[in-house]
Amino acid sequence: MVKTNFISYTSTAVQPAKLESLECETGNYHSFCPISCVSWLYQKLEDSFFLVIGTKTCGFFLQSSMGVMIFAEPRYAMAELEEADISAQLNDYNELKRLCLQIRNDRNPSVIVWIGTCTTELIKQDLEGMAPRLEQEIQVPIVVARANGLDHAFTQGEDTVLAALANRCPQVSRDTVKPKTHPPLILFGSLPNSVANQLTIDLNSFGIEVAGWLPSKNYSELPALDQTCYVCGVQPFLSRTAATLMRRRQCQLISAPFPIGPDGTRAWIEAIAKALQVPIDQNKLLERESENWLELEEMEDGLPSIRGKTVFFMGDSLLEIALARFLIRSGVVVQEIGIPFLDQRYQAAELQLLQQTCKELDVTMPVIVHKPDNYFQLKRIQALQPDLVITGMAHANPIEARGITTKWSVEFVFSQIHGFTNAGNLVTLLSKPLSRHNSLAELGWTEIV
C-alpha cells in the first residue's frame, strides 16, 4: 500500500533538483513561534476555536504579536499550564475537559483545535490520546496539532494544523461524486477567501474545476478526499500536509511551483493542467502572464523601481524560494536566500523553476542557506550592502539605522500575494521601502546609529 502510494508521489512529482549552492548554518535565527498560525487560521475557519496549551511565554508571545486583534474577542485562548500541571499533580485530562466544556458553553464552536507547544512536548502530554476520548465525551470534534518551537518555525504551524485537518476530511461517497472532465482537484493552504476565489476563477478559465479547499471556510465544509483526488499546494511551507494527503489519504500530489508572481501562477496552472490531463490553451495562458507583467511594469512604483536592485533574504517564513524566483524574473539581483527549512521534495518544482529562471536570464544561482545564523548573516549584509534586506522585526530597525533598507518579512505572510491579481501587491511591498529610502536619502538621513 505504502509502496504504491510512494510511486504515485513520484509519478506526478518533479524530481528534486540538484542544488550546488545549498548551505546549512547553525540555526541561530530569529523567527516567529509556529503557534502564531492561530492568528490567521481562526479567522479562516470561521466556526473553530483554537486552544493553545502552553505557558505564559506562549501567551505573552501571542498577545504581543497579535496586537490589536487580541482585543476583538478572538476565538482563541491559552490553556495556561501552571506548576501543578507540569509536575502532574493535576489530572491533565480533567483539566482540559473543564476548559473545553467552558469553551463549548461560551462559544459553541464546530471544532476545537488544540495547539500543542514545547511544554506539552517536554512533559509528554498525550494530546493525541486524550482528544478522541474527550471528543466522545463532550461531542465537539477536537483536532490536535503540535505547532511547537522545538520542531517548527513560524508558518510551519499552519502546516501542522492542516495536516491534522486533512485526517478529518470526509471520504468521498460514491453517490455524490459527479462525473467531470478530470479527476477532483483539492487545493491546500489557508488563503483569504477572496484570494482563494481568484485562484479558483483563474483555474476555471482554463477548464479546471476546483473540488474543494483545505481549509474550507467552515469545519463542516472540509473537502472530501480519496485516492482519485489530486491535491496541489498554494504555499511553500505545507510539506507535512502534502505528505499526509499522499500517505494517509492516498491522494495524488501535483508538484508545482507556487502561484506567487505571474511566472509562478502560470507555471502552477500549467502543472495542474498537465497532471489532470486537461488540454489548455497555451497561448491564452502566456498572454495572461505577459499582460500581468505589463501591468506590473506600468503601475506606479512598479517593476522599473525594483529592477537591478540587490535583495538579501534573512529567512523566516519559508516563502523565500518562491519570492526570490519571482524577484529574479523581475530583474532583481538576489544575494542570499535564507530559509528556515527546505523540503527539497515538496519544493522540487519551485526549485527547478528557480534554476530555470536563473539559466534563462543568465544570472548566477543565489546561495540558499537553510537554518541560517543571523549573526553571520549580518556580517554578510554589512559586506554586501544590499539595497533591500527582507527580515524579521527583531533586526529591521537596527538594519535601517545602519542605512540599509528593510522589508518586514511577516508582511508577505499577511498580505495578499497569490495569483495574477495580487502580483501588484507583491511588487508594492518591495518598492515602497525602496522609494522611501530614496526620498530620505535626499535629506541626508541614512545612517543614524
Q: Which residues bind another protein (CB under 8 A)?
A: 27-36, 55-57, 59-61, 63-65, 67, 70-71, 73-74, 77-86, 89-90, 92, 95-96, 98-99, 102-103, 118-119, 122-123, 148-154, 375, 378, 392-398, 401, 448-449
Residue 118 Cβ, how far from another protein at the closest point, in Å?
Answer: 5
Is residue 167 within 8 Å of residue 243, measured between CB atoms? no
> Is 416 or 446 the residue whose CB approaches another protein more closely?
446
Rounded to 5 degrees, φ, ψ at 183 are -60, 160
> Is 99 or 224 the residue whose CB approaches another protein more closely?
99
CA 259 centroid distance within chain: 12
| Residue 187: count of CB within 10 angstroms of its CB | 24
Is residue 31 within 8 Å of residue 154, measured between CB atoms? yes
Residue 319 Cβ, how far from another protein at the closest point, in Å?
Answer: 17
> Is 151 or 295 the residue whose CB approaches another protein more closely?
151
> Is 15 or 28 the residue whose CB approaches another protein more closely?
28
Residue 344's alpha-carbon distances to 13, 228, 368, in angstroms, are: 11, 25, 12
DSSP-assigned letter for residue 205: T
Is residue 338 within 8 Å of residue 313, measured between CB atoms? yes
Q: How far apart are CA 195 and CA 188, in angstroms?
A: 13
Is residue 84 within 8 Å of residue 90, measured between CB atoms? yes
Residue 17 Cβ, how far from another protein at the closest point, in Å?
Answer: 27
Residue 155 Cβ, how far from another protein at the closest point, in Å?
Answer: 12
Q: How many residues does the chain have?
A: 449
The string of DSSP letters for 73-139 reads: --SEEEEE--HHHHTT-S-HHHHHHHHHHHHHHHH--SEEEEEE-HHHHHTT--HHHHHHHHHHHHT
Is residue 237 within 8 Å of residue 156, measured between CB atoms? yes
Residue 81 Cβ, how far from another protein at the closest point, in Å?
Answer: 6
> Is 341 or 420 the residue whose CB approaches another protein more closely?
341
Residue 444 Cβ, how far from another protein at the closest point, in Å?
Answer: 17
Q: Using CB atoms within 10 A of its CB, is residue 110 exposed (0-12), middle (13-18) or buried (19+)?
A: middle
> Is 272 or 390 the residue whose CB approaches another protein more closely?
390
> Is 180 or 379 the residue whose CB approaches another protein more closely?
379
> Is 30 or 182 the residue whose CB approaches another protein more closely?
30
Q: How far apart are CA 272 and CA 257, in angstroms?
A: 10
> Is 152 or 288 the residue whose CB approaches another protein more closely?
152
Q: How far apart are CA 75 and CA 103, in angstroms?
A: 9
> Is 55 or 357 the residue whose CB approaches another protein more closely?
55
Residue 111 Cβ, how far from another protein at the closest point, in Å?
Answer: 17
Task: Please choose, from the candidates 18, 17, 12, the residue with its C-alpha nearest in 3D space to the C-alpha of residue 256.
Answer: 12
Residue 206 Cβ, how far from another protein at the closest point, in Å?
Answer: 40
Residue 92 Cβ, how far from another protein at the closest point, in Å?
Answer: 7
Residue 440 Cβ, how far from another protein at the closest point, in Å?
Answer: 15
* Residue whose cell numbers read 476546483: 210
